[in-house]
Structure 1
């Protein structure tokens, strides 16, 4: 059974410069009440997360152990930040905005090595790249 935390946990790719830079930028503005950790230094089993999934997307683990990935992790992060940030967070949970956000997230994630601040180490693992 996954270990439960009092605070939500945001898990990201600490080897990816784009992910780290983006998250640092957001954290300065949002100040959400959650633990933030790179997957490389996290006990993924305790959180109920596979390494494969952690390599694939940003993950938000609620205090009850529910795991949200990608655009829905961003939505939960915005909702947790509260205030004005809760509005876009709430919108990201509603169809069709949720579906559009998912597609945009997947495109950005697939090309994060080419995004501002990205580097070759940001490239998605080969298992996630198109042939």
Structure 2
């Protein structure tokens, strides 16, 4: 199930969490994803959007609560953040994986050079690199 903090200001994740709870689906029987970047509401505070360690961490915790799960199978950086160094985002995503809150992280509509930079940082520091990309278009 694909979600994002910004879909209906977080309400989409809340509805998905309610459905998952109502159906009592076994956790090993589904995969759930979320995306971070735009924030869950129209909030002017700079800490409530973007790909800073602060927002990535807070947004993940909020998604876990809304979705009523202990971990996200997939967690995407919804767009590149020109205000946050890629290294900060890579370190933040790696921390969430090491904490068991995220299994895999990836990007959405990042350029090839941005993805290469993320992989180089991860490789240099022995961190988890992004493992998927959600492009706007594909060959299919």
- What's the TM-score once normalised by structure 1's chain length? 0.29
More helix by share: 1
Q: Point out which structure has higher relative CO (alpha carbons under 8 A, 6+ apart).
A: 1
